Chains A and B, each alone.
Chain A
């Protein structure tokens, strides 16, 4: 593919970097106290000592638990290739015990080039798993079970966890169970019999710090000055990048971003957007890219949908607001219509519409989820009688009315009076 400009090549490179977590983390695996090195240490220990082990990787979403683990595993694969085999399960997919066992069997078969049969019953599978565990233990081959969304495994009767951890108790077997969860109380979810068999080793993953992020950006966004790019372009690009990073506005942007959500993923998404907006003619990143990226990442959906509302829908929203201010405990479409009529009579507004039209607007609001039914009882009852509630804070409503261009002044007045 020689046809494309260096800018385009740069774009592709940056994007592929941003989409590939292990690349991002690679640079920072060196520091001794990082989760990476801890994890790697424990794992390689349990591999070489041929002992059983179980670890929990806890931390909020998007802090690179999976990424770090992948990195570690890939390194281990390289170091002692034939000594480990990795079985990956995901709570979203395999929370059901039978299908989890099946999946384990399938992956084991795949690892050892066995024939896997779909027809096997679940206890066949579990027998097979135990047998394989023993075998691999005897063959000094460590099986690493990676249970993503660990908390979901802890939902049911936890038969799978029990059988796994129970197998770990036997001397012959040699395996590591790694649970990944974004619930910090994941180990509290376990039953007693399971917890007793669980070695309470936890690794806590935290959102990265500012300067970490800063170094990260420097690394990710800068182009290599080797032959892959024309030399002067790379130099110019990196220089521009540097003074963007140094820019005061930029740091503000970063602060705004990390105030909202300081997780690594969020940050990377932001960078991704920014890179996407890079214009290919100049081929350089600009501060505007980051600004637009920030806007497109940090959205205010409620405000947007209020901005989209038609006048009638705004009327309905305001009516509901008034009803709630009146502490009417539960109200439905009819009471809203009553309120609407009251407003109309008192202010002689120009737009007073038929009930069915209002009903349609009402249903629009429900579709936009600005309002919703109190309960999903009484489907057989017709819509206008089901009690509803407002999903907007009064501030949001206020903001929305202000931002909406076509909002009539009377509504503004009303809402001002309420707040």
Chain B
């Protein structure tokens, strides 16, 4: 369990890299978010760790749910759940890692082969000798060879978080291929340190010395001693953030040495292809011989992760409809980082295993023969556990015969099967959807919708024979316009419609894929098979191909009219599609016992992920008494007491002003608050008399006057640091402005 909690797990990465480049705008706020989410979210995060270490501290919230089991040996079950969690999550994590690596590896290989050929072109003019390399003046070469080969790696994602590791891995990969690699980041190209700075860090990383003068000649002689036989790769993670002038100087400098030292640049570009053009002057651009590589876009990564984790194989943990939706929206709208998605997944998982008493059963999904596993487990289940299993709302609906362990075991295995079928159908849909590049995430969200299940339920009786479909039924499922389950224009219906007007070649491709996807469901298997055989015949029959061909030209609507009378394979395929959807696309939330593996509590996740620091800060300042529960505040409601913390007093007072606050008034009211005796209850702040009084204080008290001023200043500074206020400007020196938004 230790490895799953170590910082190398996905949630740790964004935090660490935030620290890494700490010279960011909004340092406080930016850095705040991961921390805060850590704090609040880890509700789960921490408790999970707590569980691992000392399993005897559930927080108040969860107790109620847990204590059902707690009378009898809850401890043991908790332990079981923990083990289950560790097992499940480690599986998930590994799959995610593998998926991501899979995505990158192809690009890495491309880059490497490109490197090789660049190197050979550099060396085509012959390898310079040691004396030539260390010589101070450039070799006499042709003009065109003066360029530096440059790989522009496009991470089509503005958020840099996901790609931090990517470039490290790229470096490792190239190192393993026997190049000298040096990873530089934009911090090395700052205007403050200038050219010397980046050369120095280059030397430090490669030559492993820190010379007093960062001279490129050192690199040259080092390269000779290394035996000048392998390319020298300089990887710049984030090119946009470098200072353009320094980068330009660096490039010009390298271009003087490029023949002697075969340097090859690799620059990560997060935005568009215009970035280098806008950053560098033309003479530096001239020195580059660029070549473009593209990493997988976050959407693609997302899809492959979702496919691997939620669909391909069931790890005994899935998410409910709302959660999926939330995750999707969070990804699309908040920050499009895969990292945060993974973090969310992890939190959800931990939360689920912590709160769901029966979740230890989930281990069964990982077993090969889960049926026997469950039956073995269920036999030993005590009554209480069984009871709370059958009390799950999902089996309230369709009541089982009696609450026996076998029933539970069967139910679980049914659950597993249905989940399998569901997944394979979703994948089939996705295959179809790919043709009008849908996101898997969208389809997934739709397929999880419980509404779907209800609709299926009500027309489940509609019996669909092997292929003798009655025209009536045919008429009312073209494209599920009025088809209950699918809303018009929903993704699934779109996919189906797409299937209808597919040309032959992609269609056969699609069928192949379907066959691959639907291995489990034999029924589908043979349906698909016969479709394929039909396809064969069609390919022989020219006429139909033409028909199929000009379905292409036609817009889909007319195509569909045409298809009404002639049943082509498309039609059949589409119907098969619909049939699949009907029969097997059973959202998990309608299956009994799904609570055991399905996480549905969206609001926890939401509060966890969207830290909304500014809002939080302001709220907390406004009612600080809820946090520090001191007795003095508890009795007097929301009155401002001198015993409160200065900052919160100040902020509460600020609520009475507009966006611009007169410092003097503010201070006066603050003083009145502070000076009033704690004993007497609090009234509304009366400015004028108190301030007068404040003015004419005698000498004994002006020490306290100074003290109050000091406290005022400190509180104000704190408010400023939290970014809620802006200091007085030149124009109006006696006013502070409040940076008002969010509340």
Contacts and interface: CB of A to CB of B under 8 A. Distances in A.
- A–B contact (CB under 8 angstroms): yes
B404 interface: no
B282 A360 contact: yes
Given A356-B277, A382-B278, A367 B245 contact: no
Nearest to A362: B282
Nearest to A357: B282
Interface residues of B, number: 6
Nearest to A379: B245
B282 A359 contact: yes
Contacts of B283: 363, 367
Contacts of A359: 282
A364 to B, nearest CB: 8
Interface footprint category on A: under 10
A383 B278 CA distance: 9
A356 B283 CA distance: 13
Nearest to B278: A382
A378 to B, nearest CB: 13
Contacts of B277: 356
**B interface secondary structure, majority:** helix
B281 to A, nearest CB: 6
Contacts of A360: 282
Interface of B: 245, 277-278, 281-283
A382 B279 CA distance: 8
Interface in A358-378: 359-360, 363-364, 367
A363 B245 contact: no
Contacts of B281: 363, 383
A356 B276 CA distance: 12
Interface of A: 356, 359-360, 363-364, 367, 379, 382-383
A374 to B, nearest CB: 18
Nearest to A360: B282
Q: Which 7 residue pairs are nearest across A and B when measured between Cβ atoms?
A: A360-B282, A363-B282, A363-B281, A382-B278, A356-B277, A363-B283, A359-B282
A359 B278 CA distance: 11
11 contacts: A356-B277, A359-B282, A360-B282, A363-B281, A363-B282, A363-B283, A364-B282, A367-B283, A379-B245, A382-B278, A383-B281
Contacts of A364: 282
Nearest to A383: B281
Contacts of A383: 281
**A interface secondary structure, majority:** helix
A364 B282 CA distance: 9
Nearest to B245: A379
A359 B277 CA distance: 11
Contacts of A382: 278
Contacts of B282: 359-360, 363-364
Contacts of A363: 281-283
Nearest to A361: B282
Contacts of A356: 277
A95 B282 CA distance: 39
A302 B245 CA distance: 27
Nearest to B277: A356
A296 to B, nearest CB: 26
Nearest to A356: B277
A310 to B, nearest CB: 13
A58 to B, nearest CB: 40
B278 to A, nearest CB: 6
A40 to B, nearest CB: 45
B279 to A, nearest CB: 9
B547 to A, nearest CB: 48
A379 B245 CA distance: 9
Nearest to B282: A360
B195 to A, nearest CB: 15
B25 to A, nearest CB: 14
A356 B282 CA distance: 9
Contacts of B278: 382
A386 to B, nearest CB: 12
A169 B451 CA distance: 108
Given A360-B282, A363-B281, 9 more contacts: A356-B277, A359-B282, A363-B282, A363-B283, A364-B282, A367-B283, A379-B245, A382-B278, A383-B281
B606 to A, nearest CB: 39
Nearest to B286: A360
A49 B518 CA distance: 117
A337 to B, nearest CB: 15
Nearest to B191: A379
Pick from B245, B277, B278, B282 the residue with the most CB of A within 10 Å.
B282
A379 B244 CA distance: 10
A199 B245 CA distance: 52
B723 to A, nearest CB: 23
A371 to B, nearest CB: 15
Nearest to A382: B278
Nearest to A367: B283
B416 to A, nearest CB: 59
Nearest to B281: A363
A363 B278 CA distance: 13
A327 to B, nearest CB: 30
A232 B278 CA distance: 71
A91 B245 CA distance: 33
A248 B701 CA distance: 101
Contacts of A379: 245
A363 B284 CA distance: 11
Contacts of B245: 379
Nearest to A359: B282
Nearest to B279: A382
A363 B285 CA distance: 12
A122 B370 CA distance: 88
A367 B248 CA distance: 14
A356 B280 CA distance: 12
A383 B248 CA distance: 14
A360 B277 CA distance: 11
